[in-house]
Amino acid sequence: MKAIVCRELGPPEKLVLDEVADPGCGTGEAVIRVRAAGVNFPDTLLIEGRYQMRLQPPFTPGAEVAGEVLKTGPGVKSLAVGQRVAAVLPSGGYAEQVCAPAQTMLPLPDSLDFVHAAAFPLVYGTALHALDQRGQLQPGETLLVLGAAGGTGLAAVQLGKLLGARVIAAASNEAKLGFCRNHGADETINYERDSLKQRVKALTGGRGADVIFDPVGDRWAADCLSSLAWNGRWLITGFAGGTIPQIPANKLLLKGAAAAGVFWGSFVAREPQKNLDNFKRLFAWQAAGRLQPPVTRTYPLAQAGQALRDLLERRATGKLVLLP
């Protein structure tokens, strides 16, 4: 089969499309014929050796796929050959086939095609876990989202609205802010042009945001702390901006506020039932026409490096998907 291979750690341009052996299928596992693979920021970190999980080359990146079950290993009773599924994986998704534990695969509702299914689990799983379990976002509260036109950011914008919040979307240019408004954002802030802190203050009558979904970190962290309302919750989700910020703890104390870490992958492993409950809600919203992943561009598998470069250069909006 064909697969994208990382032969040495480095930038996306080092990835190659190669012919590799078809995957085997052990006890409790199933092989998916990949019809679409989601492109995610952590993939850029993995191939550079900067992700929390380190892999030694050669390996195939790719954390999110949708397709049909091609074969099942011994002991697999929950899946049938031909069934449509999505899966989130540690790696291996940028390929024509991938093997994964059957119990981690999500059977797909008819309402989700493969392209949108490959863009669904990681960002919505992360954003709902963040807003609900970690942030306890309530109807009527104000949610500020950074990197709001990106994968997890736009998911947080959409879910914030579904959970009844007033959503302020922050992003780096007007096109991205328009994209956020088209997906439900009530207010927008261009945080490259304007002061994030001053604009949140103005938009909330000086109160601040109840919940901040932050997948960016870096130089905006100080403004996030200043923008928290009394009892605010700052959801530390990622560091797409590059630098991991240090937090002056006194600012949390003064606002009775909390900085909460979000690690969806560990949540799935440690609290699988709660994660499945989250997906029941997500699929119900999707089937009712209230939630759709914003896939803005698809690429042939061979252009995986270009897709990752587009993410790194902040050119992407919503979700990018590879088509093997």
Instruction: Note the residues at the interface with ligand NAP (CB under 6 A).
Output: 40-42, 122, 126, 147, 149-153, 171-172, 176, 215-216, 237-242, 262-265, 311-312, 314, 316
Report the nearest approach of ligand NAP to the CB of residue 97 (Å): 24
Report the nearest approach of ligand NAP to the CB of residue 101 (Å): 19
Query: What DSSP letter does each residue of 87-148 carry, written as one string?
Result: EE-SS--SBSEEEEEGGG-EEPPTT--HHHHTTSHHHHHHHHIIIIIIT---TT-EEEESST
Report the nearest approach of ligand NAP to the CB of residue 113 (Å): 21
Residue 277 DSSP label: H
Report the nearest approach of ligand NAP to the CB of residue 144 (Å): 13
How far apart (Å, rounded) are the C-alpha atoms in residues 242 and 144? 20
**Among residues 84 and 179, whose Cβ is nearest to ligand NAP?**
179
Q: How far is CA 154 from CA 25, 168, 319, in A?
A: 35, 11, 9
Report the nearest approach of ligand NAP to the CB of residue 80 (Å): 30
**Among residues 150 and 232, whose Cβ is nearest to ligand NAP?**
150
Report the nearest approach of ligand NAP to the CB of residue 146 (Å): 7
How far apart (Å, rounded) are the C-alpha atoms in residues 20 and 314? 31
**Among residues 12 and 23, whose Cβ is nearest to ligand NAP?**
12
User: CB atoms < 10 A from the CB of 20, how many?
Assistant: 15
Helix (H, G, I), strand (E, B) or coil at 177: helix
**Among residues 63 and 228, whose Cβ is nearest to ligand NAP?**
63
**Among residues 92 and 217, whose Cβ is nearest to ligand NAP?**
217
Inter-axis angle of helices 174-182 and 151-162, to 10 degrees? 40
**Among residues 97 and 275, whose Cβ is nearest to ligand NAP?**
275
Which amino acid does the sequence have at 292?
Answer: Q
**Among residues 69 and 100, whose Cβ is nearest to ligand NAP?**
100
Q: Residue 212 corresponds to which tokens in the numbers above?
A: 């901040």
Report the nearest approach of ligand NAP to the CB of residue 77 (Å): 30
How far apart (Å, rounded) are the C-alpha atoms in residues 168 and 175? 16
Hey, which bits of the chain come out as E strands? 2-5, 16-19, 29-39, 64-72, 84-88, 97-101, 106-107, 142-145, 166-171, 187-190, 209-214, 228-236, 258-261, 295-300, 319-323
